[in-house]
Structure 1
Amino acid sequence: MERRYDIDWLRVIAIGLLLIYHIAIVFQPWAMFLAFIRSETLSTNLWKPMTLLNVWRIPILFYVSGMGLFFAMRKRNWSELIKERAKRILVPFLFGIVAVTPLHMFVFQRYYNMTLNYYPHMGHLWFLGNIFTYVILLLPVFLYLKKAKNIRVKLFLQKLMAYPLTPLLVTVFFIVEVIAFKPTNFALYAETWHGFSLGFLCFFFGFLFMYIGPSFWQNVLKWRWLYLGIAAILFTIRFILYATEAPDYLTVMESNSWILAIFGFCHKYLNKPSQLLSYLSTAAYPVYIIHMLVLYAASALILPLKFPVYMSFPLLMVITFIGCFIIYEFVIRRINLLHPLFGLKWNFKYLKRKKKQPLATKTVDE
């Protein structure tokens, strides 16, 4: 099994876009409805490019998480897998609820002169809770597919991948999902049944695409421009005709078209090792966990200065990214006791290691 650097890059890029997306929320009129610190200088124009991201930014993370589970299952039995997933996902999730999300709520309360209350909650970490639940629910299915005697299923799926647009057939399941749950807004994923069921489908098909193997990647590689064209057309329709909120059956088709196109282009151009990827792929998970705290602290620092949006938005973005990586590099990475709380492995030789780090790095989920 070859190492898949493009999947590592997908995770890193998706989390980076998530940070930018959350920073843009600060400048929207409805920011406080989501318990974000809101700027007094607003920009609805800033949200327009975000509407392109919001239909696939979270789904692609669920896809990639399902792909990561495929790698994790290669060398573990079911009990080892559950134990490993509990360490990597459940422990950071529970720790984050009691020790991370309350901190950014303290900043929120302090900024608005509210009474300081300890408020443990999932916040942005709802994603981790969903992922662990999917692992438990889908593990019997994945173990069934893993058995060698079920190779006929794999061969059948591989034959289907010879045809263009075959991966888009999974959209039928997503259409059934939106019909069943009728989301008021497709992009409301957090702590909703729509978000849970959508993530369930993405996680399952992410695993299935890796299970199918090279024929799936050859398909998205060959037809990447076609998927991109379909996504662009559907986005144009959604943006012009529906003011960014198209019927859900069109939105799910657009979402999966973007994702398949991204898979194809990343596989084409990013499936190669680098020292930067080695660092970022390890940092991405802790950065995701702490980014809301850093964003709230940066907002409390920058927003009172009342800069225009064209200055405050990039400044807030720079401070948030730099702040996250400073905390990761000089606190989380260097204190071994913190490693399991942020999904990292113990590393007693970090400060003493003499050998140069290899270019190859395991996927975060592996």
Structure 2
Amino acid sequence: MDNPTRRHDIDALRVLAFGLLILYHLGMLYVAHWDFHLKSTHAAHWLQYPMIFLNRWRMELLFLISGLAVHFLRKRTSLPRLAWKRTVRLLLPLLFGMAVVVPIQPYVEGLGTGLVQPGFGQFLLRYWTGGPWPAHAFSGWNYGVTWNHLWYLAYLWNYTLILLLIMPLLESAPVRRVRERLEGLRGAALLVLPSLPLWLIGQLADHYPMTHALMGDWFAHALYGTIFLYGYLLGTSSRLWDELTRLRHISLTTALASFTVYIGLDRFADTLIGHAPTPLDIAIGVPLIQFTQYLYMWTALMAVLGWGRAHLNRPFRWLPYTREAVFPWYILHQSIMLGLAWPVLHMGLGPIAEPTLILLGTVLGCAVGHEIIRRIGWLRMFFGLEPKERQPRPLHYASLAQEHS
């Protein structure tokens, strides 16, 4: 039975966010001039715009929801138990995924670069022993093994453990008073002020570009860690959530407007000013572009949460099943997609049939994989699922008679 106090909108947004991740990774096969493990010959330049539209907040939404999840779990368990549960739930799938699920990705990427010889069994043995590999054979070749899309689990585990370590400070009286003031933010203050720290963090991007390698990835840690903390602090404050719901039209309008300004300045600045940028143009324009980028990021997140609270906070019939399916689908989807894409990209299909076949195959593969995983007790924990609940043994009439004799 569902918990009557459960936030169904957060569950639904988590499901939708991971579904969006699958579509985004499919788009990476087809967006022109963006690096990915494989690329189609049907790559299109126009795809950059919808991809940028999603790219500026999609992972931030996942980290925000993950911070919210820690807030909800903290109310139900002790810090040591919570740390252990999150370690098992995140690190077991990460290690299992790197060893069993992910290897197909560097294999087909290596085939694409021509630096890995055909033969998956031979590749797998070499992969499990850490290489070595020819330079640039695949993403992460220099580490011998790779976690590819599962980097999110490693980052999330680190942020969770750090948050739990500082939890006594966050729950202290002085910090609670600060949090109460933050929970009182209204209107424009809620839509603008939290974006300012993100804008300042953005200054690290040029010096520490994202690598997803964990060590030295300072811009990513500062950005995702801050968003994760925002999610925890947002928590269940009814005042904040009521305000997010009230502001949902304004936050959506602000997000769309700031995205338009951001893209206009970033892509068409030369055309807009009519000449090559001067040092003064750059000194003014670059901070403005960055500010609109992070304002867009934050207001888009606020719009998603506000609209979700208004329309998704109900016990949909599809939600319990999809809520369980999220983790297995996340772990499986990119390996299935790339494993399927390698032969499909060489079939000479058109720009509609090719991505449609890959998407349908990915969805079918994830659905079948999830159905297998959820039925095998020992396998569930390697895909982030809770152990199967043991059903009570049925009592036969003879047993009942003996009990009451």
| TM-score when normalising by structure 1 | 0.87
The code of the aligned residue for 1:314 comes to T
Q: How does 1:215-234 map to 2 (within 5 A)?
A: 215-234=239-258
The code of the aligned residue for 1:87 comes to V
The offset of 1:154, in angstroms, is 4.0
The code of the aligned residue for 2:254 comes to I
The offset of 1:43, in angstroms, is 1.6
Q: Say which of 188, 191, 194 aligns to 2:219.
A: 194
Q: Say which of 139, 152, 158 aligns to 1:133.
A: 158
Contact 1:107/1:300 (8 A) holds in 2: yes
Structure 1 residues 153, 237: closer, same or farther in 2, change over 3 A? Answer: closer
Q: Say which of 308, 324, 336 aligns to 1:266.
A: 308
Q: Which residue matches 2:109? A: 108
Q: How does 1:249-260 map to 2 (within 5 A)?
A: 249-260=291-302
The offset of 1:110, in angstroms, is 4.4
CA–CA distance in structure 2, aligned partners of residues 244 and 304 of structure 1: 36
Instruction: Specify the SS of the correspondent of 1:130.
Output: helix
Per-residue CA deviation, residues 31-60 of structure 1 (Å, 9 max, x unaligned), is: 5x43x2221222222332111100001011
Contact 1:91/1:341 (8 A) holds in 2: yes
| TM-score when normalising by structure 2 | 0.79
The offset of 1:150, in angstroms, is 6.1
Contact 1:101/1:120 (8 A) holds in 2: no
The code of the aligned residue for 1:207 comes to Y
* Residue 60 in structure 1 maps to residue 61 in structure 2: yes
Q: Which residue matches 1:345? A: 386
Identity over aligned residues, as a percent? 26
Q: Which residue matches 1:173? A: 197
Per-residue CA deviation, residues 3-37 of structure 1 (Å, 9 max, x unaligned), is: 10110111111111111111111123445x43x22
Q: Which residue matches 1:97? A: 98
- Where does the alignment leave 5 or more consecutive residues of structure 1 unmatched? 354-366
Contact 1:175/1:252 (8 A) holds in 2: yes
The offset of 1:140, in angstroms, is 3.4
CA–CA distance in structure 2, aligned partners of residues 164 and 100 of structure 1: 45
Q: Could you say which structure has the larger radius of gyration?
A: 2
Structure 1 residues 310, 243: closer, same or farther in 2, change over 3 A? Answer: farther
* Residue 238 in structure 1 maps to residue 238 in structure 2: no
Q: Say which of 134, 139, 142 aligns to 2:167.
A: 142
The offset of 1:138, in angstroms, is 1.8
The offset of 1:197, in angstroms, is 1.4
Contact 2:341/2:358 (8 A) holds in 1: yes
CA–CA distance in structure 1, aligned partners of residues 102 and 33 of structure 2: 20
The offset of 1:244, in angstroms, is 8.7
Per-residue CA deviation, residues 234-283 of structure 1 (Å, 9 max, x unaligned), is: 11122233229973222111111101001000000000112211111111
Say what the alpha-carbon RMSD is for the aligned residues. Answer: 2.6
The offset of 1:2, in angstroms, is 2.3
Q: Say which of 156, 159, 170 aligns to 2:181.
A: 156
Instruction: Specify the SS of the correspondent of 2:146.
Output: coil
Contact 2:66/2:231 (8 A) holds in 1: yes
- Where does the alignment leave 5 or more consecutive residues of structure 2 unmatched? 118-122, 128-143, 270-285, 395-405
Q: Which residue matches 1:26? A: 29
CA–CA distance in structure 2, aligned partners of residues 172 and 161 of structure 1: 14
Q: Which residue matches 1:332? A: 373
